[in-house]
Structure 1
Amino acid sequence: MAKLVMIATTAVPNHVRGALSRWMIEPVAGVYVGTMSARVRDELWSAVSASVGDGAALCVHPDDNEQGFTVRTAGERRRAIVDFDGLQLVQLSALEGAEQEMPPIPEGW
């Protein structure tokens, strides 16, 4: 059964954008949406993730889990998807060169 798939790209080579536009529409620059089978989705994602180069890509598709969807990423991103007891959560990494300091704990805590 075909299901909705969304792929977002940042700074990927033109041939990756061309491959995505054959299967999906691009309603906003770098965001691709389409309906396809799991097999086509997996083959397309394999091609995209192998070709992102210095860019990055993210794929969100329906899945049979608590959240109802799965997130896949390829390339270097500031946001990383981490598994926390079966839930996929977003973890932000610190900016390069920024001092990461814990804020003071308020009195009474």
Structure 2
Amino acid sequence: MPSMVVIATTAVPDHLRGALTRWTSEVLPGIFVGSVSARVRDELWSAVTETVTDGAALLIHPAPTEQGYALRTAGTRRRIPVDFEGLTLIRMAGPPKAKKLQSEF
């Protein structure tokens, strides 16, 4: 049975965006919404994770949890989903640390 999915992408290749529009509607740049079966959802997510490279992606789909949905993430991101006693919370990662310059004296 089809269920609603939301896929949010940032800095992904155009061909991935094109592939996602075959099954979903791009309602805003990088935000895809559709109603697909679990099999199609998993195949789409597989394509996203293989292609995301330096970008970021998030999949939200219905699940039998307290919140009623599950999150999946791929790629580089500052927001990291963390399970907290059955609830999915979002942890913000700090900015990347700058490399220290070493002098050669």
In structure 2, runs of 5+ residues without a counterpart are 99-105
* Residue correspondence of structure 1 range 22-61 to structure 2 within 5 A: 22-61=22-61
Paired residue secondary structure (2:94): coil
CA drift at 1:97 = 4.6
Q: TM-score, normalised by structure 2?
A: 0.89
CA drift at 1:96 = 2.9
Q: Name the count of aligned residue pairs.
A: 98
* Residue correspondence of structure 1 range 1-109 to structure 2 within 5 A: 1-97=1-97
RMSD after superposition:
1.2
Q: Partners in 2 of 1:50 and 1:83 — Cα distance?
A: 24
Post-superposition CA distance 1:4-47 (Å, at most 9, x none)? 10000000011111110110001100000000011110111011
Post-superposition CA distance 1:27-74 (Å, at most 9, x none)? 100000000011110111011111101101000011111110001000
Runs of 4 or more, structure 1, over 3 Å off, are none
Paired residue secondary structure (2:72): strand
Paired residue secondary structure (1:41): helix
In structure 1, runs of 5+ residues without a counterpart are 99-109
Identity of aligned residues (%): 58
Q: TM-score, normalised by structure 1?
A: 0.85
